[in-house]
Structure 1
Amino acid sequence: MDLDALAAVHREEWVRLDRLSRRRRLSGEEADELVDLYTEVATHLSLVRSQAPDAEVIAYLSSVLARARSRQTGTRSASWRAAGDFFLRRFPAALYRTRWWWATTALANLAVAFLMGWWLLRHPEVETGLVGADRARQIASQDFEGYYSTYAASHFAAQVWTNNAWVAALCIGLGVFGVPVLWVLFQNVANLALMGSVMVRHDRGELFFGLILPHGLLELTAVFVAAGVGLRIFWSWVRPGHLTRGQSLAREGRSAAGVAMGLVVVLLVSGVIEAFVTPSPLPTWARIGIGVVAEVSFLAYVLVVGRAAVRAGETGDVDADLLEASVATAG
């Protein structure tokens, strides 16, 4: 196919579609014209992709079609209805569909953390070599507890929220490579095991769990979800099933993007608990109870709402009408 000839013949249609998409108001005739032009330009894009792939032309036509699609469907992404649809269908369905990935990730990491902590307690010289005897005493006597009340609660909530969101983003963003996700998990688990070992060795184990559990249950679950979803992205191109590797990777990537957006809210909740509940004067049982309620609520959300969404046909991927149009063409 001669790409220059195609552009010369149909450029006016492309420009016309772009102009109609940018107008605030359309007459009835113009609305019909926009729909017809959208179909024609989608066919042109399909031809270019399949017979004369040119990155610049593909990018231009894709942007024109995206604007036209938004013009036809309206500003759905900014509506409360769209937000409700996301949290009642797409996000919980993605969590439910990948539940075995992140549940297995969680169990494996907790087992590793326990074994590392037990090993460090059996080998105090290793712990001393990592943090030093004086530093370990300082952590156990002051620093670990003081960490949660060093800053104003609102500032601390924003800080931990940002940090945890970054860790989750790394797990999902680097998921396509697989190994970096395992490294991020190892760093978190190793730090948890080391702090636990230090606190238990200095008879501060009750304080350690009393401070970690209120926010840590939901926070660690969110990180494990991100890691499990990231590893699922990696597996999607290793074993794509009936799809091509590109199609499988694209599908899981779009679903993972939705999970990342949803986890921002989950981590906001854990950040608020860490800043306002963990260092509060509430009894330990009450603080842990709040953490347990938050964790059980999240799991119920996944298992009840997510299961219902999946049974209704939701996959966690974006709606079909928001995907780029593709038209079958003869080779």
Structure 2
Amino acid sequence: MDLDAYVAAHLGEWRRLEELTRRRQLSGADSDELVERYQQVATHLSVVRTSAPDATVVAYLSSLLSRARSRASGTRTSTWRGVRRFFTDRFPAALYRLRWWWIGTLVANVVVTAVMIWWLLDHPAAEQSLLSQTEVRQLVEHDFEDYYSEYAASHFAAQVWVNNAWVAALCLALGVLGLPVIYLLFQNVANLAVIGSIMIRHDHGAHFFGLILPHGLLELTAVFVAAGVALNLFWSWVEPGPLTRAQSLAREGRTAGTVALGLVVVLLVSGLIEAFVTPSPLPTWARIGIGILAEAVFFAYVFVLGRDAHRRGHTGDLDSALLEDRVATQA
């Protein structure tokens, strides 16, 4: 690396950070810039140490970062502004950009579930090979409904939230491999199809849909979003396009991290619905209506807020200022 050229290219940014550390008072915008400049210069220091460890430059940048860190720790930074930007820009833009991946996953799983339920209803012997008559009766008359009211609502909400977040995180974690995600999805829809076919066969279809739809619409959508984004992560290294495989995988990996964080909130909402609405004494139409409303709000979030954020240049990836610094190297 040409150290002189690198210093010349970034000296203005270093001096700007130095100027911010010397100001007696910082506005909210200045505080945000101080944090961003600190992250940039920290990357610069890492590059210098790795590629051209000049003692003078390393000492200067280390001292500058130390002063900036001390100033940042004593400054009220706009944390809530960053949170707001995440939920108004990054997360919805990621959902919108990758919409065909997770919508395709959603549609495919709904079709597979419907076909499996239809097949199971047409082959009653399959049910008998899975569960005994006693187990079927227990499921239909007690277990399915009791599941939603067995624990206190607040504890149940936390349990559901953690479980669903784990399933979504597992999909994203295994996404780079591809096939494990499909296996997880199949397990999920097979379980749903078996229970659904048993309930329908024993004239409890309305009961089944009345309990599963209020929370299941949003909950399953979140799982399908995680799976769709995970499959996109797999495809990013299979077909990287104009990027190198490493660059493509890194970009989609960062976007998957954005989606994972956002889905924590989505699954929290579905968990609250499952704990407080699904087992409530509200009429079935009201409970299902709440589920449909939650699902409609999610799709509006994606296709209104997400489309607008995407048009403004957001992709779900980190801001370019926070990405790894790229330097020219000599042959």
**TM-score, with length taken from structure 1:** 0.82
One-letter amino acid matched to 2:22: S
Give the superposition deviation at 1:124: 1.3
Q: Distance in 2 between matches of 1:238 and 1:66?
A: 39
The equivalences for 1:114-193 within 5 A come to 114-193=114-193
- Alignment-derived partner of residue 287 in structure 1: 287
SS of residue in 1 equivalent to 2:254: helix
Counterpart in the other structure of 1:27: 22
Matched with 1:57 is none
Write the distance in 2 (CA, Å) between the matches of 1:273 and 1:37.
Answer: 42
**Offset from partner CA, 1:199-229 (integer Å, 9 cap, x none):** 0011000000000000000000000000000
Gaps of 5+ in 1: 7-16, 53-62
Identical columns (%): 61
| More displaced 10-residue stretch of structure 1: 276-285 or 129-138 | 129-138
Match of 1:330, SS state, is: coil
Equivalents in 1 of 2:265, 2:36: separation in Å?
Answer: 37
* CA distance in 2 between partners of 1:320 and 1:68 (Å): 24
Structure 2: gaps spanning 5 or more residues: 4-13, 25-34, 54-61
> Which amino acid in the other structure matches residue 84 of structure 2?
G
Cα pair distance change 1:280/1:86, threshold 3 Å = same
Q: Distance in 2 between matches of 1:37 and 1:288?
A: 49
- Quote the RMSD (CA, aligned, Å): 3.5
Which residue number in structure 2 is paired with residue 297 of structure 1?
A: 297
Within-5 A mapping of 1:4-43: 26-27=21-22, 42=43
Give the aligned residue type for 1:202: H
Task: Provide the C-alpha distance between the structure 2 equivalents of 1:254 and 1:77, rounded to a whole number of angstroms.
Answer: 24
The separation in 2 between residues aligned to 1:150 and 1:189, in whole angstroms, is 24
Alignment of 1:85-100 (within 5 A): 85-100=85-100
Query: Offset at 1:240?
Result: 0.4
Q: Mapping of 1:248-263 within 5 angstroms? A: 248-263=248-263
Alpha-carbon shift at residue 131 of structure 1 (Å): 1.9
Aligned position for 2:11: none
Using the TM superposition, give the Cα deviation of residue 44 of structure 1 relative to its aligned residue in structure 2, in angstroms.
Answer: 6.3
- Deviation, structure 1 residue 77: 8.6
Superposition deviation, residue 326 in structure 1:
2.3
Corresponding residue for 1:273?
Answer: 273
Distance 2:197 2:131 in 1: 11
Give the 5 Å matches for 1:208-219.
Answer: 208-219=208-219
TM alignment of 1:95-106, pairs within 5 A = 95-106=95-106
Q: Secondary structure at the match of 1:149?
A: coil
- Give the C-alpha shift of residue 120 in structure 1: 0.9
| C-alpha contact 2:174 2:181 (8 A) present in aligned 1 | yes
Residue by residue, what CA displacement relative to the aligned partner does 1:87-130 show, whole Å, maximum 9, x if unpaired?
A: 00000000000000000000000111111111111111111111
